[in-house]
Amino acid sequence: MKKLYSFLLFSLLFSFGVKAQLPDGSKIPAGLTLTDINGNVHVLQDYLDSGKVVLIDIFATWCGPCYFLHTNHVLKNLWEAYGPEGTNELVVFSIEGDASTSHEDLLGTGTNTQGDWVTDVPYFIVEDNTVPTKFNLTYWPTMYIIRPSGQMLLGNDYFFNNVFDPTFDYVYDAAFRGADDASVSATYTTKYFCGEYQQGSFVAKIKNMGTDTLTSAHVELLVDGQVVRTKDWTGSLLEFKSANVSLSGLTLDASSDLALVVSTPNNGTDEAPYDNTYAWSVIQPEAKQTATFTIHTDFWPEEISWTVTDPDGNEIASSADLGGLSCDETYTQEFAHTTDGCYQINIADGFGDGILNGSVNPTSHSCTTENGQNSIAMGAISIALDGGVIYDNISYGSGISIPFNFTLETAVEDIKTISGTRLYPNPASTEVYVDLTSESNTTIDIAVMDVTGRIVSTLGKQSLIQGQNQLTINVADFATGTYFLRMTEAKAVKTIKFDKM
């Protein structure tokens, strides 16, 4: 199992049953009363009735993400700024809710804990294992922002997505908004396509972030900054409640930037407009000369695989071509053009968590490289078309498919800036050397192809200096046969034939 030390974006999931966790806009459980570790009894409704916002953090002493938040003093800072000794607008309850833990674990002296949860904590600490069931808890930690109306907003994203942003006032923005305020979100992410991008409809999720009931809003769909679809929504949403707004679909035949925008809540001015836009892109990748896939494995190479298919569905390259992958190693494949059309790169991860980059648990792997000994994974990935990277996201879960158009633009001339080219020995057994003279400092792409046109080795971009240059190509692992060394500069190509004995 892969285990990260940095829990910034992931909460540790723990199932409590079949009920769904209380969604945004739910009312606080009726009659909720908490007793802190000093014996003080707190009726939460009393705080709400006095106009205060209540922040609830439900955690377990053994939970890594919980302790990460604790040791970053986020709750302490909020208490000091907005609690009784600050503006007196907010109260914070940190509730240890796991029945398997003890008071000693809370103090940091037990065996089922991340450390000390009590020392120098100014806010209220509670031990109550009945609280998770009242909130239908599904994971640790769970954090709710509760407004005086009793309406609740799940606050995990506000904390974990912004923990390193010193300018972000974690819950103040969500808790103390004005009367008329709406936000918009959606599930669309960057989409790659060949030919046409078609979307039957677009669904914008609008949420009432204001204190007044939201009864109307204006929703727009923009393509490259131009409004192409609009809808005036009417309804009735209490604080933190949401509604889906559908707009008719469209077809695009070029890369475009899309955005959903909400405005004029209750026919007024939105008082916090920064979350009124949800943006994403649709991209039509194109290659005319080269397509290259590069990956640096993490500590679990056995989970990584990929294939490349041409427009006819034929597999033209795969991870299997490289044999077994090693940990903490860089691999590069350049794909051969077989016919014009839509190619597809399919990347898969057997564990379902993509490639890792960062500190990991030393007991979770057996990689013995220098990075492995330090347990710092350096996983990376890139897909480059004609030298430009179009994809480098390592967080692809169990897998992703990236299509791209590959229309070979035939070189029209030899590389005129290179002369005196000589390849030797020929035939070769282990290495071949290429001597050449360049008229100026330049960069060329170098690859080796077999007689079928399949790329068997790539040296990538090589810098040449003005004057004499020598290149070395390792051919020791090549099968006996005929090969072609291809040098490319822009649209110019020089090819040299040689034999491997």
Note whether 330 and 382 are same-domain residues: yes
Spatial separation of the C-alpha atoms in residues 385 and 294, rounded to whole Å? 11
Q: How far apart are CA 297 and CA 230, in angstroms?
A: 45
Measuring CA to CA, how many Å separate 184 from each of 39, 148, 261, 452, 478? Answer: 43, 23, 7, 52, 56
* Nearest in space to 396 (alpha carbons), one of 364, 459, 348, 444: 348
30 and 153, same domain (yes or no) = yes
What are the start-end ranges of the H helices in 87-164?
103-107, 131-134, 156-160
Quick one: 214 and 144 in the same domain? no
Place of tokens 């993509």: 354
Residue 211 lies in a domain: yes
Return the closest-CA partner of residue 232 out of 264, 209, 260: 264
Q: Which CATH number do you get for residue 402?
A: 2.60.60
Q: What residues form DSSP beta bridges with 219?
A: 231, 262
186 located within any domain: yes
Instruction: Tell me, letter by letter, the H, E, C secondary structure of 199-233.
Output: EEEEEEEEEECCCCCEEEEEEEEEECCEEEEEEEE
Q: Which two three-digit tokens encode residue 411?
A: 């070189």
- Cross-strand pairs, 376: 359
Q: How many residues does the chain have?
A: 501
Domain termination residue (choose one: 283, 304, 334) = 283
- Residue 411 is assigned to a structural domain of this protein: no
Verify that 165 and 18 share a domain, yes or no. yes
SS3 content of the chain, % helix, strand, coil (to 5): 10, 45, 45
DSSP 76: H
Closest CA to 259 of 226, 227, 221: 221
Cβ proximity of 336 and 458 under 8 Å:
no
Residue 277 domain-assigned (yes or no):
yes
Total domains, the chain: 4
Tokens of 60: 């377990």
Which residues are bridge partners to 41 per DSSP?
Answer: 35
Domain membership flag for residue 6: no
Domain boundary among 283, 300, 322: 283
Instruction: Check which CATH number belongs to the domain holding 470 and give it.
Output: 2.60.40.3080
Q: How far apart are CA 144 and CA 23, in angstroms?
A: 10
Instruction: Give pLDDT, residue 451.
Output: 64
Please report whether residue 413 resides in a domain. Answer: no
Closest of 427, 405, 443 to residue 478, by C-alpha: 427
**Region label for 70, one of left (φ > 0), alpha (ψ between -120 and 50) or beta (otherwise):** alpha
What gap in Å lies between CA 225 and CA 258, rounded to an integer? 8
What is the residue range of 314's domain?
A: 287-406
Whole-angstrom distance, CA of residue 501 vs CA of residue 496: 16
User: What CATH number corresponds to the domain at position 108?
Assistant: 3.40.30.10
Does 292 lie in the same domain as 279? Answer: no
pLDDT value of residue 344:
96
List pLDDT tens digits, range 281-299. 999 999 987 888 999 999 9
Q: Are residues 461 and 343 in the same domain?
A: no
| Structure token pair of residue 347 | 């990347």
Asked which of 386, 406, 426 is the last residue of a domain, the reply is 406
Q: What is the pLDDT of residues 116-157, one digit of tens each?
A: 999 999 999 999 999 999 999 998 999 999 999 999 999 888
Q: Would you say residue 49 lies in a domain?
A: yes
Residues 471, 346 within the same domain = no
Alpha helix segments (H runs only) across 149-270: 156-160, 172-175
| φ/ψ (deg, to 5) at 288 | -120, -15
What pLDDT is stored for residue 461 in this prediction?
84
- The answer to whether the beta carbons of residues 206 and 245 sit under 8 Å apart is yes
For the purposes of burial, counting CB atoms within 10 Å of the CB of 235, is it exposed (0-12), middle (13-18) or buried (19 or more)? Answer: middle
Q: 278 and 319 share a domain?
A: no
R_g of the chain, CA atoms, integer Å? 29
Element of type H or E holding 404: strand 399-406
Distance of CA 252 to the CA centre of its chain: 25
What spatial distance separates the first Cα and last Cα of the chain, rounded to whole Å?
45
**Which residues, given as ranges, of the chain have pLDDT below 70?**
1-19, 163-168, 170, 409-413, 451-454, 491
User: Cα–Cα distance between 75 and 123 in angstroms, integer?
Assistant: 8
* 397 is a domain residue: yes
The label of the residue with tokens 């390592």 reads: 394
Shared domain check, 356 and 215: no
DSSP state of 273: G
Q: Cis bond leading into 285, ω under 30°?
A: no
Is the same domain home to 278 and 292? no
Clarify whether residues 103 and 243 are in a common domain. Answer: no
Q: Which helix (H) or strand (E) holds 386?
A: none
Q: Kindly list the strands in the beta sheet with 315-318, ordered across the sheet, starting from the edge strand earlier in the chain.
A: 286-287, 399-406, 341-349, 304-309, 315-318
Provide the CB-side half-sphere exposure for 293 (13 A, CA). 24
- Asked if 70 and 108 count as a contact pair (C-beta separation under 8 A), the reply is no
Q: Which residues pair with 381 in a beta bridge?
A: 295
Cα separation, 149 vs 219, in Å, equals 27
pLDDT for the residue 203: 97
Residues 48 and 134 in one domain: yes
DSSP-based three-state secondary structure for 265? helix
- Sign of the alpha-carbon dihedral angle for 415, 418, 419, 425: negative
